[in-house]
Amino acid sequence: MTSMPIAYIGIGSNLGSREENCEKAIDLLAKSGIKVLKRSSMIETEPWGIKEQPKFINMALETETKISPQDLLRTLKDIEKAMGRTEAEHWGPRIIDLDILFYDDLILKTPELEIPHPFIQERDFVLKPLLEIAPEKMHPVLGKAVRELLSFR
């Protein structure tokens, strides 16, 4: 039996009840057939990109899924929409933000989707939660483990 792909998903929220928003997103992921294997703690972080907005709660998940990266992206966008996210200002405030960070060791670049996520190595709010659940996960493009990416910052 072949194993299912492992996808790492980043979660962020800075509007409303941030912790509840993250928990609700995890529940909706599970109801969509995405199995959560590990979850990081929730950390409060400074906004990235646009500083004049509330602080975020961020976390990361290690999941197992049989759906393709494109279908996973659609599922994440559907969950965001179901939770009330509207497409607003780029890097602006949001009720929920769900990103595919890694999908196995896949390297993919399309107009809609880039895997691994293109800013992982620049964002402590992604690296710190990932460090908790996958310190040895190798970045397939940079050839460095998550713990190494964070230690270079």
Active-site amino acid positions: 85, 94, 97, 99
Determine the Cα–Cα distance for residues 58 and 64; give it in Å rounded to an integer: 20
Residue 16 CB contacts under 8 Å (≥ 6 apart), including other chains: 95
Alpha carbon 116 to its chain's center: 11
Alpha-carbon distances of 63 from 10, 51, 104, rounded to whole Å: 11, 30, 10
Cβ-based neighbour number of residue 31 at 10 Å: 9
